Amino acid sequence: MTASDEQRTGIEVEALVREFKKGPRAVDGIDLQVSPGEIYGFLGPNGAGKSTTVLMLTTLLPPTAGTARVAGHDIVSEGPQVRASIGAALQEAALDPLLTGREHMRLQTSLHGIAKGERERRGDELLERVGLSQAAERKVGGYSGGMKRRLDLALALAHRPRILFLDEPTTGLDIQSRTALWEEVARLAAEDGVTVFLTTQYLEEADTLANRVGIIDHGKIVAEGTPAALKSEIGRPTVEAMPREPGELERTRAVLSRFGEQAGAAPKGAAVRLEGGESQLAEVVRALDADGIAIERLQLHAPSLDDVFLNKTGRSLEGAEEAELESEDAEAEAVGSA
């Protein structure tokens, strides 16, 4: 396979399975395709199988069954070629607290076989890109969580990979660090054409960053598509109105009922699912005004990816996380004994 062929291929996964001894089927026959230059968000609660999938796709864990090709190479029979094409920042920022940022870059570029003369330049360029030039001579043990994640990202990019795996890259980061990392990932995809496979348990992250999202639960992909398509699939937005005078609640409900079926609302409010979508909001306002109903508060609830998760699994993603912690522990133990 030539370099240009590699550039035209992303990730192709077919019926991928990973079972652990005495453990659950962590990944249960998933299929997915990620196009070159695409940001694919892999969303699910803890223990759903996200990290196990990443470990298999990065060749660090052999699959029990199924096939996957990354950058056109089979993950089982062409491991070295896969590794040469990918960069990965795995779940915990795996850094040596006793080395400096620059020493990490030097080690990483050397191990990837980058020519001696270019190592320093590449290291400096990446440290600059992730905003760590000033901290390059400091030991990583003194870095903040956000700095560690940024260095992790820079290390993953050392050998100019075509495909980047990011396993929960912003977990535990403050909003500023998270936003900075999102911007860099988006830039990598848009300007450098890097394909990004990103696992996350943050709805906002998947919604903001990913071109397409796959939702995984109990090792199976339960939904896949663009965030907009997934949200529109499960239903229409809801409008909720709360009259200024509590006595007007019935009249408010009657006006709203012209625009769709009734939906759950706060005790002093009325709500309907808008049959015509968000564009009907203006009509709702005009109708309430025409009937002389003074409104204290009017809210439009757009469907979220959490609603998608709820619709597909019967429970909320955020609620699912705690419930899945035990499952994650079991998975971690299984990885240890695999």
∠99-188-193 over CA atoms, to 5°?
Answer: 130
Which residues in 109-128 contact other proteins (CB under 8 A)? 110-113
Q: Does 194 bind other proteins (CB under 8 A)?
A: no
According to the binding rule CB under 8 A, does residue 145 interact with other proteins?
A: no
Q: Determine the size of the site formed for other proteins (CB under 8 A).
A: 36
Q: Which stretch binds other proteins (CB under 8 A): 5-13, 101-109, 234-242, 296-304?
A: 101-109
By the rule CB under 8 A, 13 interacts with other proteins: no
CB of 263 to other proteins, least distance (A): 46
CB of 18 to other proteins, least distance (A): 12
Residue 106 interacts with other proteins (CB under 8 A): yes or no? yes
Nearest of 150, 151, 161, 225 to residue 194 by alpha carbon: 161
Q: Could you say whether residue 61 binds other proteins (CB under 8 A)?
A: yes
Interface residue with other proteins, options 5, 14, 92, 183 (CB under 8 A): 92
**Distance (Å, whole) CA 170 – CA 181:** 8
Contact between 105 and other proteins per CB under 8 A: no
Indicate the pairing of strand 39-43 with strand 295-301.
Answer: unpaired
Among the candidate windows 99-107, 143-151, 212-220, 264-272, which touches other proteins by CB under 8 A?
99-107
57 and 85 Cβ atoms separated by less than 8 Å: no
Least CB distance to other proteins at residue 124 (A): 17
Q: What is the dihedral of CA 248, 250, 254, 256, to 10 degrees?
A: 70
- Binds other proteins (CB under 8 A): choice among 16, 95, 206, 249: 95
Among 186, 234, 295, 338, binds other proteins (CB under 8 A): 338
CB of 161 to other proteins, least distance (A): 10
**Count of CA atoms in the C-beta half-sphere (13 A) of 108:** 29
75 binds other proteins (CB under 8 A): yes
Give yes or no for residue 172 binding other proteins (CB under 8 A): no
Our CB check for other proteins shows the closer of 170 and 280 to be: 170
Residue number, 314 or 336, with CB nearest to other proteins: 336
Cα dist from 275 to 43, 257, 278, 279, 281, whole Å: 28, 10, 9, 10, 11
73-74: strand order across its sheet? 25-34, 11-19, 65-70, 73-74
Of the candidate residues 1, 8, 62, 325, the single one contacting other proteins (CB under 8 A): 62
Select from 46, 52, 59, 313 the one that contacts other proteins (CB under 8 A). Answer: 59
CA distance 82 to 276: 47
Q: Does 52 bind other proteins (CB under 8 A)?
A: no
Residue whose token pair is 């795995």: 90
User: Which residue, among 168, 173, 232, has the nearest Cα to 197 in the 3D structure?
Assistant: 168
Q: For residue 91, give the 3-state DSSP assignment.
A: coil
Residue 148 lies near other proteins (rule: CB under 8 A): no
Name which of 137 and 322 has its Cβ closer to other proteins.
Answer: 137
Tokens encoding 281? 């909001």
Angstrom distance (rounded) from CA 74 to CA 68: 6
> What b/e string do you get for 84-113 counting C-beta neighbours within 10 Å, with b at 16 or more?
bbbbbbbeebebeeeebbbbbbbbbbeebe
**Which residues contact other proteins (rule: CB under 8 A)?**
58-62, 75-77, 79-80, 82-84, 86-88, 90-92, 94-96, 98-99, 103, 106-108, 110-113, 139, 155, 336, 338
